[in-house]
Amino acid sequence: MTASALPSTPYVVKIYGPPGTGKTRALKNLVEWMTGINPEVKEELMEKGFPEEFLESVFGKYDVSEIAFVTFQNSALKEFVEERINMSLEEDRRAGKPLRYFRTVHGLCQTLLTDFEVSDWKVVSRRMGGLGPERWFQIFAAQQRKKDPSFRFDPDAMGAANPFEKANYLWQVKSRVINREYHKLEGEKIHLRILDELPPSLHDHYFDWLMFKKEKRIKDFDDMLMDAYDALKAGEIYLPTKVLIVDEFQDLSPLQFEIFKMLARDKELVVIAGDDWQTIFTWMGASPEFLINYPADLELMLKRTFRLPERVLKKALSYAKEKLRNGVYKEMVSTGKRGAVGGLYRVSTKKEADLDLLAGVIIGELKRGHSVFVLTRTNAQALHFFGELYKRGFKPKTLKRSSRWKKRVSKVGDFFDVIHSIIEVESGSPTREDFKRVAWVTGLISEEEFDEDLPLVEYIRPNWKGNIQLDKVQEIWGRLAKRFLEKIINDGIKPMEGIPEDYELYVDTIHASKGREADVVFLINEMPTRNWRKYLRTPEEVEAEARVWFVGMTRARKGLLIINTDKPFTL
């Protein structure tokens, strides 16, 4: 393919979608309407504010293959494609298939670079060998530890609020600088800017990473953005669709925003959707201003929330009015139900008595048939609560669909399966499968022997917990999995009474909960440090943090319970 300029002025639709107002459903309906798949959605689209004249002008006008749909996270994309429009993310995105350009921002850049055969991008997938950029960086970090034992990389401990390993810090800084500044510097100047941000002890590691990528002929996430930006600017690539839809627009970085503008310039229709109140990726330069200030021909404000009851909405709106001043204030309408908001104060996340109290409240909600989220600020905090709840006999899940802990060992299962089996063997109600998993993790049987049925006594040994192969666990599921399992082994499991047979309980970070909801949300108000004000120095930085907590508050369909610890943010 060769790039070509299609002179046109896009018609731009901007959709403000505050929490629970059906923004993603509106985008799904719009896709179905524009492709003529479902004429029945017209009334619902008009209720959202779409003018009838506009809808009539685009009905059945486009084939699905003429639409590009871009969002920020793979989990959101998977939900939209497979649960909203009932197509296959794997099959329908292959070359020549209708969903070729339904991608994350990074995925779209990589696809265009590959399709237009820019540089050596066509062979990149083969060179990567099925491994993602983070896995390649982990391999690199392991190699670097031969000369610097402290250079560790833990892909499970990412996030701007987390304490980083040395290699994590390098990964984070280079990505932050590139996303914020590449479009202003470009070329080799970006490397000098990255070195300015890195301590001298990491300079050699950075140069070694550049050389490692060159020798292996691989690319990382930042290369996808930089190369796409350069190729778009040079006219080497373009997006061969007539429509561009971007969800979660407020979370685009400055570099991604520049890429978006070049992708959008020759489209017939551009739809951007998001909520400036929910801008949470500010560490890489995301700003509410991108959504607020982008000019639009048609601007819609979704006001009715199908998630938040009256009391939760009142709490969220008063918080937004006080804390989120650099945004568009939205008068929202609740579900009409009363709901509940409460708080616990001076809770210690280390004291057994306080954790028992919290677990008891969770049991009460689960017994009422409520789904429950326990949301934390960091991955380390989520790990801690995972361990404490497992100790008490719960079997929580994570919200991250791509969690490394969900990687399957073909016959054995994933990390959660192994943990659940350890709990069952410990509590005295195991199945044969549970015995087999414990035998596998203690080294009594191999994966290949998993299908064999031996006498149950062959699967267990005295002091079996002391024989659990923690290095095997770390190799497959990462260091956090190993640390989590160590916690279970050392502290033991003491199931609490009253935990129901079937329930929905998720423990994860606020970031992972975005776009999701539960009946009751336990929001763990704990910052990584008591001295957080030392790190959030400007009003803009404090407001950026406040937006994260706003996202956590607005996941609740029925009740919100804020657990205030000794390291609270101002809620």
CATH homologous superfamily of 11-116+237-301 equals P-loop containing nucleotide triphosphate hydrolases (3.40.50.300)
Residue-level pLDDT at 336: 96
Tens-place pLDDT, residues 415-443: 889 988 988 888 778 899 999 999 999 99
Query: Greatest CA span in the chain, whole angstroms?
Result: 75
pTM score of the predicted model: 0.85
Q: For residue range 471-500, what is the model confidence (pLDDT) as tens digits?
A: 999 888 887 788 888 887 888 778 899 999
- Quick one: pLDDT band at residue 393, thresholds 50, 70, 90? confident
Of the pLDDT bands very low, low, confident and very high (cuts 50, 70, 90), residue 399 is confident
Residues 6 or more apart in contact with residue 345 via CB below 8 angstroms: 564
Tell me: pLDDT of 560 over 50: yes
Q: What is the pLDDT of residues 254-292, one digit of tens each?
A: 999 999 999 999 999 999 999 999 998 888 999 999 999
Q: Read off the DSSP letter of residue 39.
A: G
Report CA-CA distances (Å) from 417 to 200, 333, 424, 441. Answer: 43, 42, 11, 11
**Alpha-carbon gap, residue 174 to 255, rounded angstroms:** 13
Please state which architecture CATH assigns to domain 303-393+494-571: 3-Layer(aba) Sandwich (3.40)
**Whole-number average pLDDT of the chain:** 90
Helices (H), 66-216: 74-78, 105-115, 124-128, 133-144, 166-185, 189-197, 203-216
pLDDT of residue 402: 57
Band (401; pLDDT cuts 50, 70, 90): low
Q: Is the model's pLDDT at 152 over the cut of 90?
A: no
Q: What is the dihedral of CA 24, 26, 30, 32, to 10 degrees?
A: 70
CA angle 503-506-508, nearest 5°? 175
- Which stretch of 65-69, 99-103, 486-490, 500-504 has the lowest confidence by average pLDDT? 486-490
- pLDDT confidence band for 363 (50 / 70 / 90): very high
Beta bridge partners of 562: 343, 523
Chain segment 123-149, per-residue pLDDT in tens:
887 888 888 898 899 899 999 999 999
The annotated binding site for ATP is made up of: 17-24
Query: Which residues does the annotation place in the binding site?
Result: 17-24
The residues, ordered by sequence, that sit 6+ positions from 131 with a Cβ below 8 Å of its Cβ are 139
| Predicted pLDDT at 84 | 72
**Most confident by average pLDDT, 53-57, 457-461, 535-539:** 53-57
Higher pLDDT, 76 or 195: 195
Dist CA 413 CA 407 (whole Å): 8
- Rounded mean pLDDT of 329-350? 94
